Each structure stands twice: as structure tokens, then as C-alpha cells.
Structure 1
Amino acid sequence: MPPLSPLTPPSSSPSSRARVVAALRAAGCVFAEDEAELILAAADTPDELADLVDRRVAGLPLEQVLGWAEFRGLRVAVEPGVFVPRRRTEFLVERALAHVPDASVVVDLCCGSGAVGAALAAGLGPVELHAADLDPAAVRCARRNVRAAGGRVHTGDLFEALPGDLRGRVDILAANVPYVPTGEVGLLPAEAREHESLLALDGGADGLDVLRRVAAQASGWLAPGGCLLIETSERQAPSAVEAFERGGLTARLAVSEEWFAHVVIGTTS
């Protein structure tokens, strides 16, 4: 992008906006106008504006360019390499809040940025919030996002990361596990496959490896009346429901046509 005049505030120059939109559009950004507004608002100087535009044009996800993503009304911090929370996952949060509106203990497993845990805490009020992820970058990012809710973030592989005294006490266990089949990771948009952790995307041969592991152990961690919620795809949903049932859970599928979101909900019998 050509340098802007240092005497002109980036956000107040119509020519600057037009040049930003043109650069983003040429790079293939479908919502170039909307993205331009966000980038212009984030830049304090022409040099900073040029840097943000260059990073977006190079393919970095917009949320990682800005340093945040909007998720259920929250501004969630997003660091380079960390999975960007998808708006469709708001449906999982909504289902959790509807199912256990008085939850007091919440776990966000495979937490990534911690967006799900932060949104659940915001919807519930004061809760005991725990989050966990295997990726140190995600753990670092999640700590920023759950700090206001007093949340604790743990590093490790699924339930191995959690304090043992949570067994039998978890009211909401949200697990936004990776569910892209290994052979389809290469088909993902470049923004995801090149700039997000493979740990957050690759779900094994059929995409359900991590889901099965969570479903097999969840019942021992859930409190009476508690629930496990995992997002999956339409194609995988029947097998996901079966995995929940093999884990001793009563399972049902919730679907949002608006978000094209599919969430399996499991409760103890």
C-alpha cells in the first residue's frame, strides 16, 4: 500500500479509506468495506495503517490483524496462531445457557482463545470457571480473556489438565474440539490452515477422534443435571451422537439453520 501523508489522520481521510478498500478488495477480501472501517479505526498513524493493511493483504485473519474478535457481544483478544472464535459457536453458548441457566461450575475444554468460557461467564454471572488447552499460545491468550471472570486456565491434554476436585461438579462442560478430518484440512481457507494451530483444526481420520475421547470421559466430571456440549458438522452429527451414548450420556442434537451450526448435547442419565 502506498504511504499515507503523515499529516493526515488515517480515519479522517476519504482517499485513505478508498485506498484501503481497494487494497483489500484486490486481495480477495469479500467484505472489503467493512474490514476497511475496522482497520482504519484500529490505526493511530499512517505507518500503523499501512502495516495493518499489509498484514491483512498477506492473508492474516482479520481478527489476528486487529488483535480481537467479536463473540457474543464481547471483544475477545486473539493472538497470532490462536484459533479465531467462529460466530456460529455462539449457538453452543446459547444452548448451554438455556440448558443450565443456574450453572455455577463451568469448564471450557479445548478453549483456544477462551471465548466460549468468557461468554458463558458473562451470561451466567459469578461462576467457577476453568479452561484448558494443549497449545501454550492458546493458554496464554485465554488467560487474558477469562481474567475478568476470575477464570483459571490450565495447560494439558483434555481432562488431564483439570484439577481433580472438579470431578462430579461440572455443570456446563463446553468442548469446542477440532473436527475437521485430516484429509480435509488442506481444503480449508488459507486464513485457517496457514494461520491457526493445526491442533485446533485436525480431528483425525473422520474428524471425531477428540470428540470421542471427550465423550468417553465426560460423565465422570459432570454434576447431576450437568451437560456436555460439542460442536460438530451436519455430516458427523449421527456418529457424534453415538459417541455420546457410548460414553453413558443421553444425547440430542441441536441445530441452528441461521448459523448452520450443529451442537450435540449430552446429559447424565
Structure 2
Amino acid sequence: MTDPLVARLRAAGCVFAEDEAAVLRAAEGDLETLVARRVAGEPLEQVVGWAEFGGLRVAVAPGVFVPRHRSEFLVAGTLAVLGPGATVVDVCCGTGAIGAALLAARPDLVLHAADLDPAAVACARTNLPGAAGVHVGDLLDALPPALAGRVDVVVASTPYVPSDAVASMPPEARDHEPRGALDGGGDGIDVVRRLAAASPAWLRTGGHLLVECAEHQADLARTALAAAGFAASVAHDDDRDATVVTGRA
């Protein structure tokens, strides 16, 4: 016999309806209210209040960008370049999922996180109780000035959807996540360019900048980092369909 909840979710376009039904039934709150929100198109993670990322349960508030599993590749790339007690800045942090995964793997890190969206920063503060600071502001301008020249790694899952493509994204993204967390400008790499240009003033000599982008944008992102003086390279993970560009100062 077909599970009516699964059938309802499937009819609403939920590809993994069985899995989502189990998550919704286990969630706190009135099941019908939760299901109605999901059927109306709200991301499951915002409905239930959490997302799984890097083996962690990360709090996700309504209206905040939902962390993607592809960003776990960005975490892995960052861990590969970290020295003991490194100072790391998670820029465009959203929920703080990347920073949380880094701290879980390396509790010795001095972690700062920053986002322009106050709602995202409030969510990140929930997920990053061990951070040195979670700051509101535009990219690295959000940081305390005393960090200039003292950062070992800047890591960022910046917005990288081209402006013209935002309208064709799934409704749960375009209608329920901030446009500022999605829209990367004309070719999707505008924020990467700005971050690359700003990062050298904050990084120690030999420090690293790691950014996520789509595979077809890798050459553009690498060029942006090279133009800012970084020795840049590209890595891709087929399993996650994830691309990371790494620059060494």
C-alpha cells in the first residue's frame, strides 16, 4: 500500500519522497504544518530546521541559504592546507556549515566567519559556538582590522550563479533563499573577483584562498585569483560535482 505522505510529497515534485517523509515524521512540530510548508516549496532543511553537512547536524533558519553537500569538497581542500593553530576565515558563511565542519575536524583552529546577511550571521552564531568571531559585513570588510596580514586561509562558497540564471533555479532556491547568496553577477564570478582582490591584504605570506565555483567557471575563477597575485590551481570532485579553485599567496 502506498504511503500517503510519500505520495503527497512525490506529487509535489520531491525526488527523494521516502527519505523526506521519514525526516518530516521525526521532526519537532505539527506534522501537517511541516508537510504543508514542504509541499508549498520551502526547502526541507528550512522546514525541519537542520541540514546534514560533513557528518554534522547544522541548524538552518528560514530564509537562510541551505548548505550543499558539494561544499564538503571545499572543506576537504581547506583541511589539506591548514597548519597547526591556523587562523581561518569562512566568508559568505551562510549557516556557518563550512566553519563548523572545519572546527569539528580541527578544534585547534582560530575561526572567524562573516556574511552580509544578518539572518545568516545569527544562524551561524548558533552553529559556531567555538568560533573566535562571527561578523556581519561585506566579505573581508566584516573582519576586525587587527586580523589584516594575520590570516592563514580564506575559504568561501561565494554566490556563483550567473544573474540571468537565477530565475531558472528550482523554486525552493530562488523563492526561499536570499538572492544575494545565489547571484554571482553576469558570469557568476563577480564576487570571486572581489574576494580575490581583497584577500592579499588579509593573508599571511604563503596563505591560501579557496573558492567554490561551477566546473565551467573554473578557468574564469583561476584567472581572477591569478590576477590578484595568487598561484592558482583547480580541483574537481566528480562524485559531488564540486569544483574548488585554490590560490597560494
Alignment of 1:1-269 (within 5 A): 18-43=3-28, 48-147=30-129, 149-268=130-249
User: Which amino acid is the alignment partner of residue 99 of structure 1?
Assistant: V
User: Which amino acid is the alignment partner of residue 220 of structure 1?
Assistant: A
What's the offset of the Cα at 1:43? 3.9
Rg larger in structure:
1
Separation (CA, whole Å) in 1 of partners of 2:35 and 2:66: 19
Q: Is 2:99–2:113's contact at 8 Å kept on the other side of the alignment?
A: yes
1:180-208: per-residue Cα shift (whole Å, max 9, x none)? 11000001111100000001000111111
Q: CA RMSD, aligned part only?
A: 1.4
TM value normalised by structure 2: 0.96
Point out where structure 1 has 5 or more consecutive residues left out of the alignment. 1-14
TM value normalised by structure 1: 0.89
What's the offset of the Cα at 1:102? 2.7
Q: Is 2:71–2:212's contact at 8 Å kept on the other side of the alignment?
A: yes
Q: What percent identity do the matched residue pairs reach?
A: 56
Separation (CA, whole Å) in 1 of partners of 2:118 and 2:28: 29
Q: Is 1:253–1:262's contact at 8 Å kept on the other side of the alignment?
A: yes
Separation (CA, whole Å) in 2 of partners of 1:51 and 1:146: 29
Task: Report runs of 4+ in structure 1 exceeding 3 Å deviation.
Answer: none
Size of the aligned set, in residue pairs, is 249
Separation (CA, whole Å) in 1 of partners of 2:3 and 2:241: 33
SS in structure 1 at match of 2:225:
helix
User: Which amino acid is the alignment partner of residue 111 of structure 1?
Assistant: C
Point out where structure 2 has 5 or more consecutive residues left out of the alignment. none
- CA distance change for structure 1 residues 254 and 103 in 2, over 3 Å: closer, same or farther? farther
1:119-175: per-residue Cα shift (whole Å, max 9, x none)? 11111112211111111111111110101x234111111111101111122122111
